[in-house]
A and B are shown apart, each in its own frame.
Chain A
Amino acid sequence: MNTANFLGIPASIFPEQEILVFEDVRLTYGAALARVRRLAAALAALGVGRGDPVAALDTNSHRYVETYYATATLGAVFVPLNYRAKIPELRHMLATARVRVVVVGARYRSALASLLPELPDVRHVVAFDTAPNGGSTIEDLIAGADAERQETEIDESDTTILMYTSGTTALPKGVLLTHHDFTTYVCGTVELADGTPRGTALVCVPLYHIAGATAVMTTLFAGRTLVLMRQFDAATWLRLVERERVTHAFLVPTMVKQLLDAPELGTRDLSSLQSLAYGGAAMPLSVVRRAIETFPPTVGFVNAFGQTETTSTLTILGPEDHRLTGSEAEVEAKLRRLTSIGRPLPDVELKVVDDSGTELPPGAVGEIVVRTPRVMKGYAGDAGASGVDDDGWLHTRDMGWIDDAGYAFLAGRKDDMIIRGGENIAPAEIEATLQLHPAVDEAAVVGLADVEWGQRVAAAVALRPGAHATAEELIEFCRTRLASFKKPDVVRFFSCLPKNPLGKILRRDIRAALTADTRGDR
């Protein structure tokens, strides 16, 4: 179905229910739907029709969500842009998407203006908030619309969102996600609103990220009140959980760490929280352990692993796996499992294969491949092949293994694997071992070019505040716990590891720093 129905159906059943909260704005289903349909009519009057790309460049807001649903109502293609992108990346995204209309926040207007002369496809620029020189705002369009527009008939294979990947390894790739992809995800994840209490979700991740987009859709469809944050900050997040009695939230690991370090943490009532999901980047064991010990015991933690290319979540490590109870041996086993990404969702098949595509037995490291009905249609433009083989398996380029109980573990990106003297070494295994050391806060392991071994193992480590450890001590710690060839040859200390805004470690930067730093070592 048209994803606009994720709002339209529950709104037609429960028009009086409050559903969307953003700062001082509180909207019922009925009010939100009326605004969306008027905005759709106004966008249609600007010439937007089925298949036309409409971009959004701003931080989160109710108007951002409304712009998505208005775009979907018309069968047009929504292009949410990373507001932290640099100018060349923005140019690349706007040009490859062939955007017709851009809706922009005041903070990003000058960046967009500098690019417009190079973007002949852009016909209209609309402001999310204020517009200079008589330009149109979203509120102008809603107020000036002559009618409410009903959902356009679409084909389920039509693209509804063109979402760019984070681009940590290359220029961002445009992922074509269809109405079918999101319908499969939303209907497979939550039940439609039925008038029973469904709680309140706090969405603080950017809406240009797949986790933000799917959280909005599932929340509105399920009749759960959606509380939006413009951008994450720990103090506001804690205040909103208390004020709005938030039951569900999604965080990236960096945010969890900031919450644990926030002085306000102990002063806020978090007893309403039922589900705290995290994902988007690897979660350091020390952080999730602290979170389990710090948040109320009623909170169910969920580790979600997915990709933009698979319309979000593929595997989940559920609340039971986060409860560190039982005998010492059971707790030890659960701690190990906390570094797992869990098991596949019901609509996902997952296996680990070698380079020839042969399935590997439990414990063996290979590439993770997945099959699910919600794999993207492909990449936009000439960004390359989709990575889906003839049998429908998407090659994720994530390396990993599966244990005897079916839990999957990540072993790093395929391109990050270290080959030392012919031995394949997964950085994640060494990182997980380093994180077991009580002084270690975070660790990232990379391969450095080496004349003798081809590559040698180098670890970048950030210690906990006030903790001390020497490089020799950490190397010895690994040597006693890992096959000898896996122990780091080099350990260098960082005050904190370089990361992108979602908390993904920037290995390129670490590799460059370590290469420069260790040049005189050998």
Chain B
Amino acid sequence: MPTQLGKRYVCEACQTEVLCNKPGQGGLSCCDQEMKLKEAKPLPSSD
């Protein structure tokens, strides 16, 4: 799955999180599995 600008990806095995600052066609993997797109924040923030 292509990576998306500004999105965070998390490894469900080791919890490593990466932040994409330049998107591309390649996917991300960690611990021999695909990293998952991290969901946006569900709550309003104070900032």
Instruction: Identify the A interface with B (CB < 8 A).
Output: 9, 12-13, 187-195, 201, 211, 214-215, 218-219, 248, 250, 275, 277, 279, 300, 302, 304, 306, 312-313, 316, 318-319, 345-346
The reply to whether A302 and B21 form a contact with Cβ atoms under 8 Å apart is: no
Residue of A at shortest CB range from B4?
A194
Query: Which B residues are within 8 Å of any A CB, using their own CB?
Result: 4-8, 17, 19, 21-22, 40-47
Given A9-B21, A13-B21: A345 in contact with B43 (beta carbons within 8 A): yes
- Say yes or no: A302 contacts B46, CB within 8 Å: yes
Known: A13-B5, A13-B22, A194-B5. A189 touches B42 (CB 8 A): no
Query: What's the count of A-B pairs with C-beta under 8 Å?
Result: 70
Q: How long is the Cα–Cα vector from A250 to B4 in the complex, in angstroms?
A: 30
Contact in complex: B21, A190 (CB < 8 Å): no
A300, B41: Cα distance in complex, Å: 17
Could you tell me if B22 and A215 are in contact, using CB atoms closer than 8 angstroms? no
- Chain B contact residues, majority secondary structure: loop
What residues of A have a CB within 8 angstroms of the CB of B46 in the complex? 189, 211, 250, 277, 279, 302, 304, 306, 312-313, 316
Contact present for A250 and B47 (CB under 8 Å): yes
Is B40 a contact partner of A191 (Cβ separation < 8 A)?
yes
Closest to A1 in B: B19
Chain B positions within 8 Å of A188 at CB level: 41
| Beta-carbon nearest neighbor of B42 in chain A | A346
For B42, what are the chain A residues with a Cβ–Cβ distance below 8 Å?
A: 346
Q: Considering only CB atoms, which chain B residue lies closest to A192 in the complex?
A: B6
Q: A192-B6, A195-B5 are in contact. Are A316 and B21 (CB under 8 A)?
A: no
Closest to B20 in A: A192
Taking a contact as CB atoms under 8 Å apart, the answer to whether A190 and B47 are in contact is: yes
Smallest Cβ-Cβ distance to A201: which chain B residue: B47
The answer to whether A192 touches B19 (Cβ under 8 A) is yes
Docked-complex contact B21 and A192, CB < 8 angstroms:
yes
Contacts of A190 in B (CB 8 A): 41, 45, 47
Residue A318 contacts which of B4, B19, B22, B43 (CB distance < 8 angstroms)?
A: B43
Select from chain B the residue with minimum beta-carbon distance to A196. B6
Query: Complex Cα distance A318/B46, Å?
Result: 9
Max count, chain B CB within 10 A of own CB: residue among A189, A218, A219: A189
In the complex, the chain B residue whose C-beta lies closest to that of A304 is: B46
Residues of A within 8 A of B47 (CB): 189-190, 201, 214-215, 218-219, 248, 250, 277, 313
